[in-house]
Amino acid sequence: MRRRGFSLLEVLIALVLVSLALVAIVRAAGIGGDAVGAQRSQLLASWVADNALVELELAEAFPPLGERVGRARMGPDQWHWRIVVQATDDPEIRRLDVSVYRDPARSRRVGGQSALVSRP
């Protein structure tokens, strides 16, 4: 007499394999979602940095050396930035480095930009 169907052991092994595959798929989807959130934060931070640099350059054509801090709203978040104005080898050119943070303590840099400005 011939048996039809699967044994209980075969069914359990198949269920274990399917559950492992589903766990891997869910995990991969979660990692992809985190990456999209990080890219969004970096994009918004670069816009905040661009805006801070432009505002400084419009306010002061040749900014004095030193550090400035501020904050800006971009998207749903409040961002904090810090601009450091440094001298270069050429006294007619200054380097502007802006760093953007999510927290007011400025503990973790999310993004930033650099620019060079010359004396008008």
Domain contains 2 = no
Helix (H, G, I), strand (E, B) or coil at 103: coil
120: CB partners within 8 A, 6+ apart: 61, 62
Sign of CA dihedral 61, 64, 65, 71: negative
pLDDT in tens, 48-103: 999 999 999 899 889 999 999 999 999 888 999 999 999 999 999 999 999 999 98
d(CA 98, CA 19): 48
**Which residue range forms the structural domain that includes residue 31?**
8-118
Total structural domains within the chain: 1
CB atoms within 10 A of CB 20: 10
Domain contains 3 = no
Q: What is the CATH number of the domain that holds 92?
A: 3.30.1300.30
pTM, to two decimals: 0.69
Chain CA centroid to CA 87, Å: 28
Domain contains 1 = no
Domain contains 48 = yes
